[in-house]
Amino acid sequence: MRLDKFLKVSRLVKRRTLAKEACENKQILVNNRPGKAGLEVELNDVIEINFGNRKIKIKITAIKDTVPVKEASQLYEIIENYRVQQEEI
């Protein structure tokens, strides 16, 4: 499955276009490499998402074309999830 579609199906990103933009802005890494929207992801791949002050790192545990909202979090396992403190100037 394409990276942008997985991010949308798993509800980690709200829309596929946002996932594509995040990839273009180098905010997403797959297995410690820059993620491209069309990259085919597989089970056990590790995805890091950096959105502003929020950083999340997940491991893919299942790949499905569609899932109900309540089951979306079953597609991955959270490795890290935290917010970065903004430095005061």
| Domains along the sequence of the chain with CATH | 3-83 (3.10.290.10)
pLDDT digit string, tens, across residues 10-63:
999 999 999 999 999 999 999 999 999 999 999 999 999 998 889 999 999 999
Contact 31, 45 (CB under 8 A): yes
Q: Give the up-direction half-sphere exposure of residue 10: CA atoms within 13 A in the CB hemisphere.
A: 24
Dist. CA 47–CA 43, nearest whole Å: 11
Query: Given this model, what pLDDT does residue 89 score?
Result: 59
Question: 38: helix, coil or strand?
Answer: coil
pTM above 0.75, yes or no: yes
Query: Given this model, what pLDDT does residue 1 score?
Result: 95
Which helix (H) or strand (E) segment is 24 a member of?
Answer: helix 16-24
